[in-house]
Amino acid sequence: MTEGNFWKKILIFTIPIMLSSILQLLFNTVDMIVIGQFAGDASLAAVGSTSALINLIVNLFIGVSIGANVVVSRAVGQGSLEKAQRATHTAILFSFIAGAILIVFGVLTSRTWLELMGTTKESIDKATTYLQIYFAGSIFNMAYNFGASILKSVGETRRPLYYLLFAGIANALLNLLFVISFNMDVAGVALATIISQGISAILVIIYLMKRPGYVNLKLRKLRIHSKELVQMILIGLPAGIQSCLISFSNVFIQSAVNSFGSTIIVSGNTASANIEGFVWVSMNSFYQAAIAFTGQNYGANKIKNSKKILLICMLYTFITGVILGGGAYLLRVPLVNLYTSGEALKYAEIRISIICLSYFLCGLMDLPVGSMRGLGNSFTPMVISILGMVVFRIIWISTVFQANHELWVLYISYPISWVATEIVHYICFIITYKRRLKQSEKLTEMASA
């Protein structure tokens, strides 16, 4: 990751991540399609109303997996096998602990969170059932994400793709079995999801145990190494807090959608949000590439490469966002009809027309964040993102949306917040880049002296 043709290497690295992310998203999408077609709008709204809440709670821990990626990438760039091994074992054990915490917290508090969000009476019982079963499988979710993040740090992106493909097929088949044959409704799709997550997690852990080199895993060596954990937390926790608070702002958005008091509107919003998800994860794959490539180059003291990496990822992201976002808009009717039909289509189109056509802005906004984290600066992008996307959206909902209670007024807050936040992120990247370059030059001078 530190030399050669970056255009080619980034693309080869990213495509499996993109496909893996799409497959992971398909877990939830298959849930939505099966529920929407065979259980109705009330069940679809129930599952859809949990997405923002799941992200709010889970992303805090997933952020630390980003820290694990950076720490292992940096160790690989430095050529330090011992440090990479310590980071790997620390990260996997932490994922088990995080999963256990999420099981207890999620199962016990799911209904309370849904009530605070103003989930409709028609949906809250089913939404609670879905959430509690989903959180019961949190260890699998955490183990897979941390394991896959570690593999990405050494450029291994194909194995997670294969495992997710296998798990995704199992998820689809189990959905059909549980919902259509056993009439299990939302409980069926939740159970299918955690079983498929368990399959992918077990396969990743087994591969880490067999893979030689920097990230070889031995269960008997699982322990928390304080130095590596602190580094992961310093880099990853701000990322987790940022994702958590952005999800918190999306909970406000979901609550604002719920305020219309219509299951049909919630159903349309859910369908659109799932379609958008495919665009977002595709663009976000280049964000993950920016973190891994920048981290290794930072560890190898090749700071100048980070600017080239960012520019390449920007172009790839722009092309991906425009093509997929525009395609989602053009195909909005048949795509939404996969999830729901009738009046819900009208409300889904409102969101798609605003979000998908401008979604490339969101992708471009994330890239300098990945580059800064790869360079070891995770706190600054967290603060900027909180102000630009969380605080702004809450203020927007409390003022502009309250004065103009229309769906399009609610959704327009997204592209406005992306543009404002994006500008500041790029300015901060330039500042971080220049600082790291000066540090690199000083280290080079000291080494030569």
- Tens digits of residue pLDDT in 84-108: 999 999 999 999 999 999 999 999 9
CA angle 120, 122, 126 (to 5 degrees): 100
Residue 164 has what pLDDT?
A: 84
Residue 432 has what pLDDT?
A: 93
CB 155 within 8 A of CB 195: no
Q: What is the pTM of this model?
A: 0.77
The overall average pLDDT reported for the chain is 87
Half-sphere exposure (Cβ direction) of 133: Cα atoms closer than 13 Å:
19
**pLDDT of residue 49 exceeding 80:** no
Band (324; pLDDT cuts 50, 70, 90): very high
Residue 155 has what pLDDT?
A: 85
Q: Strand locations in 344-421, DSSP E?
A: none
Q: Tell me 220's DSSP state.
A: G
Torsion sign, CA atoms 41, 43, 46, 50: negative
Higher confidence at residue 226 or residue 277?
Answer: 226
Band (236; pLDDT cuts 50, 70, 90): confident
3-state secondary structure of 260: coil
Residue 202 has what pLDDT?
A: 96
Residue 449 has what pLDDT?
A: 62
- Most confident among 179-183, 358-362, 393-397 (mean pLDDT): 358-362
Residue 447 has what pLDDT?
A: 67
Higher confidence at residue 341 or residue 132?
Answer: 132
What percent of the chain is predicted at pLDDT more than 70?
98
What mean pLDDT is predicted for residues 296-325?
Answer: 92
What mean pLDDT is predicted for residues 368-397?
Answer: 88
pLDDT in tens, 186-199: 899 899 989 999 99
Q: Tell me 49's DSSP state.
A: T
Higher confidence at residue 43 or residue 429?
Answer: 429
Band (257; pLDDT cuts 50, 70, 90): confident
Residue 296 has what pLDDT?
A: 85
What mean pLDDT is predicted for residues 225-232?
Answer: 93
